[in-house]
Chain A
């Protein structure tokens, strides 16, 4: 045995390195995997095996292309999570232990994570756009979970570290439920498949219940979203998740004719021309909103008479709570658009802007 030990170690060492670097098991695919059936999500293909999964992500900007293809051993135990949204998600899944490092600490609202960083249990990886490479290497994570954006050119040096990069492209799905369904993928990453599935089932049911309630109503209030910045007003295109949400909430989205799945910039003139007909004006704003100031800055806005329902994103958890729970946002919108419906709402992200605010 002793005589074999040295060559054995010599053989296993590079193999171990390979495994550590690529996270693969070098055995060939054995056994049948479970292909996850997605009911809404379209950009994801997931095949699970007992100890690993194979994931293919479609490129949301060029649907003929692939954003990434992975073979990962699961569950991951030590993830570098770049977005606060996904931190909130892992917390809900009960997978706090799987999070080894986080970025953009100032945007994280969960006290558990703040404490974790303070106590040194979770690594602070800095700014999500320029993460701290040394800390990442030190963390030696199983996977990186960043958000992709078009032409971001990848993560640069970080990608060359050989750590699996799982692009969190959930937000590029074109319907709210499709985005939320990614929870089933993330759940399987951290070994909480059942929990994830049951959460999503509840989300889906509630969402669809709400939709059918709305379908029975007659009125369709005309909705105007967002506000202009420096002469430009960016509005969600018809193919975007937001547009679908407005439709599901029983609104007539005044700019549903805009093609595209992202934000479309228009001149203030063009928007105001239609916006005079709005019944509801929906704004998400960082900090206090002052209607008089808005009009002082952009006089054309004086022409819009619709009441403003707004969300103060500097204090609200809307960005953490709603991506994987679109039903919360939906019920919030329905209470504004169709107050006559009783939807038993517990989430109210928007409130009416009054003069005293």
Chain B
């Protein structure tokens, strides 16, 4: 088992390097290396900014986002015993969508509180975080009251529908500019975290990932069912709350900084299970994190594929990979249940 994790780590290193060496602009590998070692390239002063302030942060963003979303997917799939669960199942990312929609469609991109005015991408991030964390808090409170996983899922579905219709309404009465910005935001983008914002992004992601590691043991117990898990000493209620907190934090952070990224959360845990052939979270969680990072880095690299300088949006690439995986899972289910 260990050798598989080692292989995945090596692959991660390779993809990380590849994402810095190659991009939509053709920069010779030797020059990239020169820049990474602290040098400058004559005649192309823009290149060092592109590599150090563009590609490097973008690579780290993709890496952490992949890890974060994959982990969310794993936590939710185990906790709700649903192989089709993903970060969007609880509606937390709908909260982020709604926050951004209010800012871009209703407020026109700037907001003032007292003498403080924020605008631009920072406002989008703040709004997305606020939206996602509000929904997360709501779910945590409801989780305490409801004591039922199914009810929580239903709540998530309702939240998604309600926020969806509010966003439609905002779309209808918004300016062309607003709608355009909102649509562009919705395509997902690893380049939006610059070197200034990278530290905050990293801290939030790493915090969430570390908290997720705390859940490895209770999640294994939860595989047997709530009753057995409780008998083994797992505090179901507290575990559920921590789970909501972690998925909330990770989903909020990735959606706020990068926009909505679909399918990674859903597909990566299944890829991990297929690769490792185990259900034990002790190996499954690190594998999920590694595969998530690898997948996101691969998608980022693929988006720069067109040689004419244009980009393929992330939201186009992730379903192309995610959909076959989901299909495979569903067909596997059919075989097992004979439906």
- Which A residues are closer than 8 A to B by beta carbons? 127, 229-232, 264-273, 275-276, 286-288, 290, 293-294, 296-300, 302-303, 313
Contact = CB atoms under 8 A, between A and B. Distances in A.
Given A232-B184, A296-B121, A264 B189 contact: no
A265 to B, nearest CB: 5
8 contacts: A230-B259, A266-B310, A269-B23, A276-B45, A288-B110, A290-B119, A299-B49, A299-B195
Contact of B310 (A265, A276, A287, A288): A265
A231 B196 contact: no
A230 B187 contact: yes
Given A230-B259, A267-B310, A290-B119, A303 B187 contact: no
Contacts of A293: 119-122
Contacts, number: 101
Contacts of A296: 120-122, 194, 196
Given A297-B120, A300-B46, 19 more contacts: A230-B189, A230-B192, A231-B189, A231-B191, A231-B192, A266-B310, A267-B304, A267-B310, A267-B311, A268-B54, A269-B54, A272-B50, A286-B177, A287-B109, A293-B120, A298-B191, A299-B53, A300-B54, A303-B46
Interface string B311-323: 1010000000000
Given A264-B310, A267-B310, A230 B184 contact: yes
Contacts of B189: 230-231
The listed residue with most B CB atoms (<10 A of its CB), out of A288, A294, A296, A299, is A299
A290 to B, nearest CB: 7
A231 B23 CA distance: 13
Contacts of A303: 45-46, 49
B152 to A, nearest CB: 32
Interface string B56-92: 0100000000000000000000000000000000000
Nearest to A288: B110
Interface in B166-222: 172, 175, 177, 180-181, 184-185, 187, 189, 191-192, 194-196
Given A266-B310, A269-B54, A296-B122, A287 B184 contact: no
Interface string B242-262: 000000000000000001000
Nearest to A299: B194
A247 to B, nearest CB: 22
A63 B204 CA distance: 54
Nearest to A255: B309
The listed residue with most B CB atoms (<10 A of its CB), out of A232, A264, A269, A298, is A269
B46 A272 contact: yes
Given A229-B181, A272-B46, A286-B177, A297 B195 contact: no
Contacts of B120: 290, 293-294, 296-297
B176 to A, nearest CB: 9
A147 to B, nearest CB: 12
Contacts of B47: 273
A267 B24 contact: yes
B335 interface: no
A273 B44 contact: yes
A302 B49 contact: yes
B25 interface: yes
Contacts of B53: 299-300, 302
A269 B175 contact: no
B286 interface: no
Interface string B15-38: 000000001110000000000000
Contacts of B181: 229-230
Contacts of B184: 229-230, 232
A269 B108 contact: no
A231 B45 CA distance: 20
Interface in B290-313: 304, 308-311, 313
A268 B110 contact: no
A303 B50 CA distance: 9
B309 A230 contact: no
Which 5 pairs from chain A and chain B are nearest by CB? A267-B24, A270-B309, A299-B194, A230-B184, A297-B121
A294 B121 CA distance: 9
Given A264-B310, A299-B53, A269 B25 contact: yes
